[in-house]
Amino acid sequence: MKFFKKVGIGLTALALSTTLFLPYTANPQTVEAAQKIKGKVTLLESDYVYNPSGHKIKLKQNRGTHSYNIPNGFSADPKGYLTTEMIVYDDDSRTSYPYYGTKKINGQKFYYLGHNYYINSANVLKVNGRNITQGKLTIKHDALIYTKTGKTTGKKLRANTVVKYQGKAKTATKTPKYFYYLKDVARYFQPKYVSTHKIKGKYFYSLGHNSYIKAANVGYINGHIARYNGVSSATVLKNTASITVNYSAVKRKLKKGQKIKLDLTVIPYQNDGFEGYLYRLHDYPDEYVDENDVKLKKNLPIIDYRDLVYTYVTPVTDNSAELYDTAGKTIGKRIIKPQYSNLKVDGLMYLWVPEENKAELFYHCLNYSDASVIDANQPNPVPNSEPTYPAKKQALIYGNNFIKVNDVRYISGLKLKALNTIAQAENGQKIATGADKQELLTLFNEGKDLAQNSAYHDLMSNYDCALRNASAMLRSDKATVTQVDEAVWYVKTAKKQLTTMSTPPGD
């Protein structure tokens, strides 16, 4: 049941009326004059609208157009059943509806929206601005009640029941088995959780008075989507195909009705604001499927796609880190940390440092703009804004440099493994022979045609830099084995990034 919308407000919207930035309040048709508005209800998500008997409302279909007559402020599912229209804005405000009272239908509380429209209280986040979900669980599946020994009590909580839990919500340092986020669209996520109890191998929440329910039956915790840190089954809703995290290729065919396993929710590349998640295929971790193409059994942890393709670090001191070359020597330059992000790195290797007569561990710095590099003697630079690229293509100079692991702190993204050992770094100081350069020569010759056929400036500049570095190593009679091996790795890595990280150019 997914009728969720996310509206991103772009820069062009700044010129519009400021009313666009206010929370949307639905106004279903006209307000009934005989009734007095009690207040407003803010929703958790889009859900069905019910009649006074508790049945879903089916809309009439136009004979000519086969479309549905949808009231203002509402929506409909593909079969024509009326739903609320859920909109979450960039400031996390969301859809509200005026209500005229409450009513119990089949033992559950409903809010009356007028015109014989009712919504289940289980889908209400706030009433008149007051959060009514704190300290409560919302049941998504009928849930049996158990004792602490795992015996059923004979009692059951129906789906959409809201119950209080025992304990307090806490911030997690590691993602628990069952948890939630305060925001489901963000750059970084901090899991929150309510303590669970393991009974006969299953996870339970305590309701007090020796009453427990399975955590798997909970849909919301404190008004936030309950998530599962594991593998979830899903059903494919239509014939489709898997894609890469950046939509750069179509891969595995998926058939309608097929059961698949998923293990991660991904915020993909956003060309024009957030438009929905991708889910990662558990058995094929480099492949993904669009959220609209599957029905997920359990909500999964969320990650930003950048943390699946990059590694981010930040300087330990100041806002910059010193740069080194492949010979382990400083180049008299530093790279500035972006103002709203962190430094990207894409490799981890030992380099022999002549001044210290030992090998040290370095990150290969993934830099797309020379504007990010400053002289080493410039004091305390302010954080750099995201680099802008010149209209005229210019060769990237500082694309193949390193920063000491000890000079930065890991923030997020891929956990890199060292590409070589300390012994290999020390032994690699000998001069490379023609045989040592053969693989690099082959890669260089293969890359010349590819270098002329890419529309992605930053990735292409990086690949160009890798080829120029390869050319320099091939021509040099002083290049070491380590430098040649690094040049081979750099060309291969830049090529892979060019062919797999490229994103659609957009509309």
Domain of 264: which CATH number? 2.30.30
Domain of 477: which CATH number? 1.20.1270
Nearest Cα to Cα of residue 214 among 173, 171, 156, 172: 156
Q: What is the pLDDT of residue 82?
A: 97
- The number of distinct structural domains making up the chain is 5
Residue 29 has pLDDT above 70, yes or no: no
Q: What is the pLDDT of residue 507?
A: 35
**Comparing 499 with 67, which gets the higher pLDDT?**
67
Nearest Cα to Cα of residue 465 among 477, 479, 453, 451: 451
Q: What is the pLDDT of residue 498?
A: 83
Least confident of 235-244, 393-402, 418-427: 393-402
Q: What is the pLDDT of residue 9?
A: 32
Q: How confident is the model at residue 257 (pLDDT cuts 50, 70, 90)?
A: very high
Q: What is the pLDDT of residue 502?
A: 60
Q: How confident is the model at residue 17 (pLDDT cuts 50, 70, 90)?
A: very low
Q: How confident is the model at residue 186 (pLDDT cuts 50, 70, 90)?
A: confident
Residues 6+ apart with CB under 8 A from 365: 321, 323, 335, 343, 344, 345, 401, 402, 403
Regarding whether 13 and 101 lie in a shared domain, the answer is yes
Q: Are strands 124-127 and 96-99 parallel, antiparallel or unpaired?
A: unpaired
Give tens-digit pLDDT for 457-493: 788 889 999 999 999 999 999 999 999 999 999 999 9
Give the distance from CA 234 to its chain's centroid: 19
| Mean pLDDT calculated for residue range 394-406 | 93
| Mean pLDDT calculated for residue range 86-111 | 87
CA distance 40 to 494: 54
Of 131, 155, 180, which residue is a domain's last?
Answer: 131
For CA atoms 345, 347, 352, 358, the dihedral sign is positive
Nearest Cα to Cα of residue 492 among 382, 395, 347: 347
Regarding whether 413 and 391 lie in a shared domain, the answer is yes
Q: What is the pLDDT of residue 144?
A: 98
Regarding whether 303 and 315 lie in a shared domain, the answer is no
Q: What is the pLDDT of residue 92?
A: 66
Regarding whether 127 and 14 lie in a shared domain, the answer is yes
Regarding whether 321 and 242 lie in a shared domain, the answer is no
| Mean pLDDT calculated for residue range 174-190 | 92
Q: How confident is the model at residue 18 (pLDDT cuts 50, 70, 90)?
A: very low
Of 393, 427, 461, which residue is a domain's last?
Answer: 427
Residue 238 has pLDDT above 90, yes or no: yes
Q: How confident is the model at residue 15 (pLDDT cuts 50, 70, 90)?
A: very low
| Mean pLDDT calculated for residue range 188-202 | 96
Q: What is the pLDDT of residue 358?
A: 96
Q: Domain range for residue 437? A: 430-507
Residue 125 has pLDDT above 70, yes or no: yes
Q: What is the pLDDT of residue 237?
A: 97
Give tens-digit pLDDT for 49-70: 999 999 999 999 888 888 899 9
Residue 2 has pLDDT above 50, yes or no: no
Q: What is the pLDDT of residue 449?
A: 66
Regarding whether 415 and 447 lie in a shared domain, the answer is no
Q: What mean pLDDT, rounded, does the chain reach?
A: 87
CA distance 271 to 506: 6
Q: How confident is the model at residue 8 (pLDDT cuts 50, 70, 90)?
A: very low
Regarding whether 322 and 236 lie in a shared domain, the answer is no
Of 270, 289, 308, which residue is a domain's last?
Answer: 308
Regarding whether 245 and 211 lie in a shared domain, the answer is no
Q: What is the pLDDT of residue 380?
A: 57
Regarding whether 367 and 252 lie in a shared domain, the answer is no
Give tens-digit pLDDT for 220-236: 999 999 999 999 999 99
Q: How confident is the model at residue 299 (pLDDT cuts 50, 70, 90)?
A: very high
